[in-house]
Structure formats: structure tokens, C-alpha cells
Amino acid sequence: MARSEILAPVGGREQLLAAVRCGADAVYLGARGFNARRNAENFDEYSLAEAVAFCHGRGVRVHVTVNTLVMDDEMDALEETVRQVADSGADAVIIQDPAVMRLFRDRCPTIQRHASTQMAVHNIDGAKLMQELGFHRVVLARELSLREIEAINRAVDIETEVFVHGAHCMSVSGACYLSAMLGGRSGNRGLCAQPCRLDFRQNGREYALSLKDLSFITHMQEIMNAGTYSFKIEGRMKRPEYVAAAVTACRDALEGREPDLDRLQAVFSRSGFTDEYLTGKRSAHMFGYRRHEDVTAANSVFGELAGLYRAERQSVPVDLRLTMTAESSRLTATDGVHTVAVTGDVPQPARTRATDKDAALKNLGKTGGTPFALRMFSAEIGEGLMLPASALNALRRDALAALLAARETIVPHELASRGESAFPAHKAVAEPALRARFETAAQLPEDPAVYDKIILPIEELERSPVLIAQLGDRLIGELPALLFPTREAAMRETLQTLKAQGLTAVQTENAYGLHLGRELGLRVHGGFGLNILNSAALSEYESLGLQDATISFELAVQKIRRLGGGLPRGILAYGHLPLMRLRACPAKAGCKTCNGRPTLRDRMDVEFPLLCHDKQYTTMLNSVPLYIGDKDYRGVDFVTLYFTKESAAECAARTALFRRGAEPNFQRTNGLYFRTLQ
């Protein structure tokens, strides 16, 4: 593996200059349309090609973000984005949607493919599935500790990328639906409105969903020793001065200098920084919000930071060879890959002092104002010849300009021919089967036959294995939404035990479960957390062995009906929808003092329940349940009633209500099924 990589965020031209000139090894930027920061300046077809040329000329790689979920009616636009990225000659694409992965893999196989942090890869099985899908690198979830990062790196043969500085989403990326549900702006489609930064309160504590920015810069050597290749800086919406400060601090840390964290904190922070995910502490000190003092501190350092990227960084080694004869002067420049040669003025007989190697080097070695740094100089000079300084300078300028032009030449990726992309119309059943998911066994009905399938957490089956025999093939075990590396081995053993007792199927909200379940010979059902919004994603998961899939509740019913392909599909039809999956519990009071059912309240005093999962992670639920029993939801193969905080009596009553197709006798939401998602 090559040396480590500092990967910098670029939202526009000024940020690009700051990143490259301050020492980034690679940058990531968005093509307009399908990227997770659609409100950044971003790059159109022409400015993207210019950015790639600029970066390649200076030895910097370019990763293009195509890291949002797409819908079937956007596939033609996505094809155009693939063409633009291929034509630009970019080095890699960062991807969330399996449909996008499939398109790049099939049509542009020579470009590197990186699994976005939006895919919520947080364990070994997840990384292995990404490798199976055809990814070359995986961006690991921000919530991992150093020990967990090292465990993944030891177990998989795929590059990993770790965020080392920048904003900290409260939810695990890809598992947040708060912005979509509250305002119709999906974080999974690049338009997060950041409602989590508003004042949610928990037991009197303010801003309970706002984390300080993470900063692992002082730990970069440890992270590198743990096997990580790429160090990523968050911030495509940030100012160029922020990019300059962050890249400079990372470069200093990797090269053994003391990083200026005070300056970095001044340019942007939320009450300071935190490293508690990396260290594994996870305390109340992780939380913070942007104060007036943070804003005023930034104004004091902008001028100083702008000076960091005004001039070219001389980072590209170049070898020069001067040849002078009585007939011509010639300067050859090479970077080891590209070689150019230029001719200059005819040397003259020396009247006083002839030009020698040292005299020539004095002028030819002046590479300031260019991205080049002289590595080696050689000369073959005829006796008694002289070339004035002006002619030597002209040779140097022409040679370095020609070499830079050669380095900046775009080498597009070849596009394979477009194959058949249409999917046959799906033939859904006339009456969708009814499934139910329960949080606990205590919620189960007396007669389970009312449901075609019953989904129970694996932890409940472990506590009450008798349920496996009682429910038979009707039972699906639900894998944890988050399963961190230190618990993977134990979960594998648990599943093997439950399989021996008769368990045949599991459901997963994360890609890791597909790899784990298949490896153990279990049938795997896909939950809503797989974020399936299009026919190609359904097809890709079917090819990986998925039995059926619950479509994301971010997709409208009319679009769900039009999804093609043969894989059986369903939707959630009732439930307090999970809005966030959280590793840092917003209760912040410590497990010993928690009553097990904490809540959050927003500015309107609306209450959002929290569910704790075995002290490993927390789910934030919507304030009111989804209910579409009285709506036309047909066109799918099954519907699921998603029970979490309800009593057994409430589960039974709401099941009966749904089966009658009756209007609810409780406050409800239709979710996003009958709205337009941005």
C-alpha cells in the first residue's frame, strides 16, 4: 500500500486552491446533481474537467461524489453524470446507492469506486460486502473507535478511509431521516436541513442532538498504524480558510510537526472539538453547539489563513537536463512519467565568462511560482559557450510550462456500451401479506396467525428461544441495526445457536447483515435501512441473495408501485418511524440513572421517544406513528406494522384497525408516501 493520503473537501474553486496549495494528496468534490452537498457551489462538466486538470498537474487525485440515493426517473440524468465523470478523467467516485455502483462498475470499470460513509459501514461483515460489490475503498462510519478501526483493517483486504476532522452528524450517516420527515429534505439525497442543530432538549439539557466537531488530528499516526490509508476532512460547505487550516494541520501532524489546533478551532468549531468516538469514551463532553464566541474567533484568523494558499506549493519533483552546443540550447524536463524538451536561443562564444553548470543552475533552479521542485540537474555544455540569464530563464519557463501542460492533459475513462437498463414490470400480489415487527416478545398477540411473518430482535429470541419453535417459518430474527466489531463474533455464535434451534431467516437494516446471514446459511430479508429507492438497487440486492426487501419510507407510494424487477418488495404501513440511529446517547445522563425510556423535546415541545438497544446504540423515534391503513397502498407484496413502544393491547388494537382499513383513532402521519421528496 502507498503512503497515507490527506483527502480534503472542495466545494468550489477557492476551496480547491486552498486544498492543493496547502498540501492535500487528494480532494473530493461534487458534480452538480447527485451529491450529498447539493447546496455547495459544486462543479459542472467544464469546471470539473478544469479541476481535474489542475489537480493532476500538481500530483493531486480527484474523487467525485455521486453519493446520493437516486430514483428510477433520474436514471437518464445519472447516465449523463457518469459520462461527465468519465470524460473528466477523475480518479475515483464516492457512492452510496448500489444502483450508482452498478452503473459505474458496468460502464466505467477503470475508475476507482469508494463506498460512501452514507452506506454506514461500521464492521467487518459490512466491509466484506462492499468488497464483494466491487468497491476498492470504504469510508468507515465516524462512530468507530481506534480499536474497532484496527479490527476492520486486520480482517479485510480493502482500503479504508477515516474522517479525522470536521462536523459530526448525530446519527450514523445513511440512517438519518429527520430532515426528510420534518421538512421533506432528505439527507440521503444531499439536501439535509440540519434540524438536529436546533434546540432539542432532554431532561432540561439543551442542544441534545448537536455534537462538537470531531478532530482526530493528534491521533493520525495511531490511525495510520491501525492500517488506515486515507485521512478525510469534512467540510464541502465550509470556507477556503477552513480547508487551508485543516489541511495544514493534517500535513503537520503526519510530518512530525505540532499542528496548530488553536487556529483550527478558531476558524470553525462548536464549543471545541471531540475525539471521544475514537477513544471509546462517549460522554456528555461530546456535545456542543455554535456559540457567538465561535463566530467572532473565526473572523480573527481569516486573513492569516488566506495567506496559506496564495502561492503555488512546490510539491512535484522535476529533473532538468541542459544541453548547449554551438548550434542550439535545449532543456529537457521530466517528472519520471512525462518528459518534454524545449529549444532556446543559440549560445554565443563567451567574451568573458562561459556558462558552466553552476551558473546555469542558478537560473534554471528558480522554480518558484510553479508546482515543481528541482530534484536533479545535469548539464552538457560545449566549451566556451555562453547563454545569458534571460535565455536560461526563458528555457526554464517554457520547459516547466510544457511539462505542466503534459501533466494536465485529460485522460478520459473509456465508457462501455450501455446495456439493457429496463426492468420488467413487477407483478405484485392482489392483497399484500401482513407482517409485524415487535420490539419485545411481550407485545406478541395470542394468535400469531394473524400475521404472515413476525419479526423479533435477535436479543429477544436469545432470551426466549422457545419462540422459534412456536412461530416456526413465520419467524424472522431482526439483526441489530448497528453491530460494532467487538460484538460481531458473539453475534455469529448466537445466530449459529439459534439456527440449530430452528431459526431460518433474519432481517437486516444494514448491508453487513446480508454478508453475515448468507455466510451462516440463513435467508436474509432486507429492511428499510437498506435505503432502496430504485429498481436497479432491488436487482443488485437480489443478485447478492436477498429474499425480499422493504422499500425506503422516503419513496412515494406511486413511485414504489412502478419499481420493476422480480424481487418481492414491501413497505412499512404503521409505526413510530426510526428517525436516527445514535451511538452517542442524547440522554447523556449515564445508563445508571436512565429510566430506559427517555425522550427528547423540540422547540415546539413535541416529544420524540428514544429506544436504547443493549447499551450499544439508541434509536430516536418519530413523535407520531405512521398509519396508512385507510389509504391505497397496494402494489407491493407485503406491508409491515412496525411496533416499538406500544403495549400488547395497543399492538392488537392497531392491527385490527389496520386490517379493517379504518381511519385511525389516534394522531398519525402519512409520512412521505404521498409527498414529494427533495
pLDDT for residue 128 is more than 90: yes
Boundary (domain end) residue, out of 294, 309, 324:
309
Q: In terms of Cα–Cα distance, which of 403, 412, 436, 499 is closest to 659? A: 436
Per-residue confidence (pLDDT) for residue 442, from 0 to 100: 97
Model confidence band, residue 269 (pLDDT cutoffs 50, 70, 90): confident
pLDDT at 132 over 50: yes
Q: Nine-digit cell at 594?
A: 436512565
CA distance 121 to 276: 19
User: Do 178 and 195 touch, CB atoms closer than 8 A?
Assistant: yes
Same domain, 133 and 242: yes
pLDDT at position 298 is: 66
Judge whether 325 lies within some domain.
Answer: yes
Pair 299, 150 in one domain: yes
Q: Are residues 553 and 655 in the same domain?
A: yes
In this prediction, residues 307-326 reach a mean pLDDT of 95
Kindly state whether residues 485 and 549 are assigned to the same domain: yes
Same domain flag for 148 and 128? yes
Check whether residue 342 and residue 276 sit in a common domain: no
- Domain CATH for 632: 3.20.20.70
- β-strands 569-575, 626-627: how paired? antiparallel
Contact between 176 and 310 (Cβ < 8 Å): no
Inter-residue contact 43 to 32 (CB < 8 Å): yes
588 pLDDT above the threshold of 80: no
In a domain, residue 74? The reply is: yes
Structural domain contains residue 251? yes
> How much of the chain exceeds pLDDT 70, in percent?
96
User: Do 367 and 442 reside in the same domain of the chain?
Assistant: no
Same domain, yes or no: 294 and 323: no
At residue 418, the pLDDT reads 82
Is residue 665 domain-resident? no
In this prediction, residue 560 has a pLDDT band, given cuts at 50, 70 and 90, of very high
State the cell numbers at 444.
Answer: 406478541
Same domain, 460 and 509: yes
Q: What is the mean pLDDT of residues 629-645?
A: 97
Work out the average pLDDT over 505-520. 98
CB 610 within 8 A of CB 598: yes
Domain boundary among 281, 309, 337: 309
Strand, coil or helix: what is 525? strand
Across the range 290-305, mean pLDDT stands at: 71
Q: Which of 254-268, 358-372, 475-489, 590-604 has the lowest mean pLDDT?
A: 590-604
Give the C-alpha separation, 264 to 241, whole Å: 10
Average pLDDT, the chain: 94
Cell representation of residue 636: 407491493
Question: What would the mean pLDDT of 12-24 be, rounded to a whole number?
Answer: 96
- The C-alpha cell that represents 207 in the structure block: 442542544
223, part of any domain:
yes
Cα separation, 112 vs 161, whole angstroms: 14
Instruction: Strands of 83-225 (E only): list them.
Output: 92-95, 112-115, 137-139, 159-166, 213-215
Same domain, 24 and 95: yes
Please report the pLDDT score of residue 574 as a whole number: 99
Residue 583's pLDDT is: 95
What crossing angle do the helices spanning 485-500 and 124-133 adopt, rounded to 10°?
Answer: 90
Residue 215 shares a structural domain with residue 107: yes
Residue 416 confidence (pLDDT) above 60:
yes
Cα–Cα dist 616/510, whole Å: 15
Residue 38: band (very low, low, confident or very high) from pLDDT cuts 50, 70, 90? low
pLDDT tens across 168-216, in order? 899 999 999 999 999 999 999 988 999 998 889 988 788 889 899 999 9
Domain boundaries, position 515: 433-575+626-660
| Three-class secondary structure assignment of 14-60 | HHHHHHHHCCCCEEEEEECCCCCCCCCCCECHHHHHHHHHHHHHCCC
Domain count, the chain: 3
SS3 for 225-267, per residue?
HCCCCEEEECCCCCCHHHHHHHHHHHHHHHCCCCCCHHHHHHH
Q: Is the pLDDT of residue 678 over 80?
A: no
Highest mean pLDDT out of 236-240, 260-264, 391-395: 391-395
Measured CA to CA, the distance from residue 369 to residue 619 in angstroms comes to 53
Q: Under a CB-based contact definition with an 8 Å cutoff, are residues 237 and 296 in contact?
A: no
Q: Are residues 320 and 305 in the same domain?
A: no
Report the distance separating Cα 472 and Cα 469, nearest Å.
Answer: 5
- Choose the final residue of a domain: 245, 275, 309: 309
CA separation for the pair 374, 362 (Å, rounded): 12
578-582: strand order across its sheet: 578-582, 617-621, 607-613, 599-601
- Residue 173 is assigned to a structural domain of this protein: no
| Per-residue confidence (pLDDT) for residue 1, from 0 to 100 | 41
Q: For residue 186, is it within any domain? A: no
Q: What is the pLDDT of residue 40?
A: 66
Cell (9 digits) for 302: 481569516
> Burial of 202 by CB count in 10 Å (0-12 exposed, 13-18 middle, 19+ buried)?
buried
Q: Is 616 inside any structural domain? A: no
pLDDT confidence of residue 268:
84
pLDDT at 245: 94
Binned at pLDDT 50, 70 and 90, residue 293 comes out as low
Kindly tell me if the per-residue pLDDT of 162 is higher than 60: yes
Q: Quick one: average pLDDT of 460-476?
A: 97
Mean of pLDDT values over 558-584: 97
**Cβ neighbours for 642, distance < 8 A, ≥ 6 positions apart:** 437, 572, 574, 575, 576, 577, 626
Q: pLDDT digits over 357-382, tens only?
A: 999 999 999 999 999 999 999 999 99
pLDDT above 70 (res 65): yes
Which DSSP string do the residues of 77-107 spell out, in sequence order?
HHHHHHHHHHHHT-SEEEE--HHHHHHHHHH
Q: Are 62 and 114 in contact (CB under 8 A)?
A: no
pLDDT above 60 (res 2): no
Q: Is the pLDDT at 638 greater than 90, yes or no?
A: yes
